[in-house]
Chains A and B, each alone.
Chain A
Amino acid sequence: MDEHPIDLSPLDPAADPDRWERLIESITKAAAPELARRAATRSVIAVIGHWLRPALAAGVVLAVAAGATLSLVQREAEVRPVPTTGLEEALELGEPVSLWLSENRAPTKSDLLLALEEAP
C-alpha cells in the first residue's frame, strides 16, 4: 500500500487566508436574509409563547377550580335525598298497588286475593 500522503497543500483553499475569509463572508452575507427571516419567525413564536405561558397557567388554574367546584356540587347532590314522586304516590294508591307499580309487574291471583283480604 502507498501509505505516504501526497502534499496537496497547493490545493488548500485556506492557503490564501484573505480569499478564504472572503469566501466565508460571501456565504454568510448571502445567508443573511434567510437567517433574518428565521429570526423574525422565531421571535413571533417567542411572543406568542410569552403570552401563551401565563394564559396556559391561568387555564390550568381555572380548570382545577372548575373541577373542584364540580366535584363538590356532585358530592352534595349525592348526599341530599332526591324526592321521588312516583306515579303511585301522585295517584295516592294504597300499599299493595303501589308496590306492584314500583316493581313494574302485574299482580298475580294470590296478590289480588291477599289484597282483598287485607282491604279495610
Chain B
Amino acid sequence: MRDADARLVERARAGEASAFEELVRRHLRAAYAVALAVLREPADAEDVCQDAFLTALERLEECRRPDRFAAWLLQIVRNRALNLRRAQTVRWALPLQDVVGVAGRHDTGHQAERSELRDRLLAAMEDLSEPQREALLLHDLEGWRHREVAAHLGVPESTARAYLFQARRRLRARLGAELMEEG
C-alpha cells in the first residue's frame, strides 16, 4: 500500500489525473473520518476533505515521505478541520441536531431513517473528546487497527485502546438512555 502510494504521489506530482484520483479514492474515507471527528458535521467534513486534498496536491513536493502520504494528508485534514471549527464558533452555538436537521429535510423513507440514526450518532459523539472520536471513527468505521490509530494520534497503542473503550462505553450509554426514554 505504501509503495503504491509513493508511486501514485510521484505520478500525481507529474500532473497525472488518474493517479491523483486513485489517491483520493484510497484515502478519502479516512480523511472524512478525521474531519468528522473534529467537526461532527458531515457537510463540513466533506468540504474540509476537498480543501485538504487540494492543499495536499499543491504542496505535494513538501511530502518528503511519499510512502507515508496518508499520515501527511490526515495531518492536513486535521489542521484544516481545526481551523474551520475555530471559524465556526458562532455556528456551533446551535445544537447539532438543528444544524443537521436542515440538511436532512428532503430525505424520505429509508434515507430519513438513516439520516436520523446518523444524527443520533453524531449528537451522541458530542460527549466524546476529539481523540476518542477519532479512535472510534477510524477503528469502527474505517477498520483501522489499534496500531494504526495509535500512530495517527501519536499516542501509545494502550492509550489508543483506552480512547476507543471509553468512546464505545459513552456512546452506548448515551444511545441506550435515549432508546429507553423513547420506549
Query: Which residues of A pack against B, CB within 8 Å?
Result: 1-2, 4-16, 23-24, 26-28, 30-32, 34-42
Contact = CB atoms under 8 A, between A and B. Distances in A.
Interface in B2-55: 12-17, 20-21, 24-25, 28-29, 32, 36, 42, 45-46, 49-50, 53-54
A40 B15 contact: yes
A13 B121 contact: no
B57 A35 contact: yes
Nearest to B36: A11
A117 to B, nearest CB: 89
Contacts, number: 94
Q: Give 7 nearest A-B pairs by CB, closest first.
A: A39-B15, A38-B15, A10-B117, A10-B118, A8-B141, A2-B168, A5-B140
Chain B interface size band reads 35 or more
A32 B17 contact: yes
Nearest to A32: B17
A74 to B, nearest CB: 47
B121 A38 contact: no
Nearest to A39: B15
Interface of A is mostly: helix
Contact of B54 (A10, A14, A30, A36): A30
A35 B169 CA distance: 45
A34 to B, nearest CB: 5
A16 B46 CA distance: 13
26 contacts: A2-B168, A2-B169, A6-B172, A9-B141, A10-B115, A10-B118, A10-B121, A13-B28, A14-B29, A23-B28, A23-B49, A23-B50, A24-B28, A26-B50, A27-B24, A27-B50, A27-B53, A27-B54, A31-B54, A31-B57, A35-B15, A35-B16, A35-B20, A38-B13, A39-B16, A42-B15
Contacts of B136: 6, 8
A5 B145 CA distance: 12
Interface string B120-159: 0110000000000000110111000000000000000000
B43 to A, nearest CB: 10
Contacts of B13: 38
A40 B15 CA distance: 8
